[in-house]
């Protein structure tokens, strides 16, 4: 087991800062990575932050997390959260704890966002705190909650 926390971001999150800022805020993904790296340093962890627009890449990275022995995965699967049985199966296939993360609170939004396949297998869900959702998820790992 390493002290690395893998942070996986799904489709359209590369456009954070530009994309619907009234919902997702003005921080870019790089801003969030920087904030997380600073907090992780204080807590004795290393952050490995990634983003992809491709579902299968997220599946591959979850498998790699297991092989690499990362401490935990923070997963914002974005829209794949609500559609991907492949991600549900991948989370169930590994023993590393996966925390579901969302900037917005999908349960407060359109009906089609209320279903979360990721949430069916995640150890914990942190949502609705903007960029702070990622920090709270990291702090939950550091506190041994997962
Ligand atoms: C999101 C919520 C999802 O419903 C949406 O498809 C996203 C972002 C969030 O972080 O709030 O792309 O995961």
Report whether 70 contacts 96 (CB < 8 A). Answer: yes
Q: Which of 45, 85, 77, 46 is nearest to 61 (CA)?
A: 77
Q: Whose CA is nearest to atom 9 of ligand 1?
A: 102
C-alpha to C-alpha distances, 8 to 22, 76, 99, nearest whole angstrom: 23, 6, 10
Predicted TM-score (pTM) of the model is 0.98
Q: What is the mean pLDDT of residues 76-93?
A: 98
CA distance 2 to 20: 36
Q: Whose CA is nearest to atom 6 of ligand 1?
A: 79
Q: Is 24 one of the annotated active-site residues of the chain? A: yes
In short, whether 146's Cβ falls inside 6 Å of ligand 1 is: no
pLDDT the model gives residue 125: 98
DSSP state of 122: -
Q: What is the mean pLDDT of residues 3-27?
A: 97
pLDDT the model gives residue 4: 98
How does strand 46-51 pair with strand 72-76? unpaired
Q: Assess whether pLDDT exceeds 90 at residue 51.
A: yes
Q: Assess whether pLDDT exceeds 90 at residue 1.
A: no
CA distance 26 to 47: 21
Average pLDDT, the chain: 98
Tokens for 48?
Answer: 């490995």
Q: Assess whether pLDDT exceeds 90 at residue 6.
A: yes
Q: What is the mean pLDDT of residues 88-116?
A: 98
Distance, CA of 63 to chain centre: 15
């Amino acid at each position: 087991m390493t002290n690395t926390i893998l942070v996986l971001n799904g489709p359209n999150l590369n456009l954070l800062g530009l994309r619907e800022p009234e919902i997702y805020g003005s921080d870019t993904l790089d801003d969030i990575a920087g904030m997380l790296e600073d907090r992780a340093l204080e807590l004795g962890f290393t952050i490995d932050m990634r983003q992809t627009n491709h579902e299968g890449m997220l599946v591959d990275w979850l498998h790699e997390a297991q092989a690499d022995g990362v401490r935990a995965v923070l997963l914002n699967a974005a829209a794949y959260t609500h559609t991907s049985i492949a991600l549900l199966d991948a989370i169930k296939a590994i023993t590393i704890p996966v925390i579901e993360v969302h900037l917005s609170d999908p349960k407060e939004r359109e009906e089609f966002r209320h279903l979360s396949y990721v949430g069916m297998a995640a150890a914990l869900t942190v949502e609705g705190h903007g960029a702070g959702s990622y920090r709270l998820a990291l702090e939950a790992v550091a506190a041994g909650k997962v």
